[in-house]
Amino acid sequence: MATTADDPSVAPTADAKAPVLCVTTNPAIDITYTIDELRVGVSHRVPTGLACAGGKGVNVARVLRQHHEPAMVIAPIGGPVRVLFVHDLDRSGIPHRLIDVDAPTRRTTAIVTPAGTTNLNETGEAIDAASWQRVLEAVRAEAAGSRVIVSAGSLPPETPAHLCASVVEIALAAGKPVIVDVGGAQLPHAVAAGATAVKPNRHELFDAMGGSDPLDAARRLAALGHGTVFASLDVEGMLAVLPDGRAWHAMLDHVLDGNPTGAGDAAVAAIAQALAEGATLEEQLARATAWSAAAVLSPQAGAIADPTELARRIRITPIG
């Protein structure tokens, strides 16, 4: 059963424990094509693409559900793809609270070849301020019944500058850990608002903080708040940095071939699960790195391979 913020009934979950609430600020219909070769300027006849509800928060929820963790999606949704979005979430067993908006939901396309993955990501269209308030009201309504709150994803144009910080404030008022995965100016605002953890990639980190040294940028970002900065560095692993400057580096002992789309979302899911369990910081970092690597071995975002063996091959090193 689909639900909306205007209809307070929520599709029940059979899980006994409370869900991770996954706020998806820029949902999408994700389409993935896997082909032998991509040739620019040439028409390709391709197998039927995989199409599913997407956006970072949805992908986080999928990975959590794969690991038997209950998750709920909150997202603004509009336009002709709404039916497909709702159908796919229902089919996937992911409860949701969707806020109807006038702006049509975007589409993303991933073209996967042996040489790498090419992504075509629509930016999305602006959502009016009243609709964003309804999104925040939905988060507030569900916060008390959640274990952890995640705000993940890009943002459409003209989004209020402190939207993610508002999600953080709602989570903290409800006494819940909160993870933010966003780039741009929203990132330092979320840290300053008190986010428990943030997970920028290298480009988002530099976009928000400037510079060219990820450790330095992560330390400056962490110093703005009281939580942990998990900075994903692609094949160079992941950093965990505390506000006092202490830092750790985690890395797999070999480079994986595969599709990196969704690796960051898997890392956020791992951090959410670890926080819900009260895991140590090193355990959070190790799990995030292993799940991120396992996502590379999966053909589509929102799923990961078995991370057990990968977890044994993660090495964590304190940084002075």
Q: Which residues are identified as catalytic?
A: 265
Residue 56: closest CA among 302, 275, 304, 303 = 302
DSSP result, 98-129: EEE-SSPPEEEEEEEETTEEEEEE-------H
Alpha carbon distance 264, 16 (integer Å):
27
Rounded to whole angstroms, the Cα distance separating 91 from 160 reads: 33
Helix 281-296, helix 263-277: angle, nearest 10: 150
**Beta carbons within 10 angstroms of residue 253's beta carbon:** 9
With a CB cutoff of 8 Å and minimum separation 6, the contacts of 83 are: none
Which two three-digit tokens encode residue 187?
């990132």
Question: Which residues, in sequence order, are CB contacts of 16 under 8 Å at separation 6+?
Answer: none
Using DSSP's 3-state secondary structure scheme, residue 238 falls into strand
Which residues touch 179 (CB under 8 Å, ≥6 apart)? 148, 149, 150, 151, 152, 195, 196, 197, 198, 199, 268, 271, 272, 275
For residue 77, the tally of other CB atoms under 10 A from its CB is 24
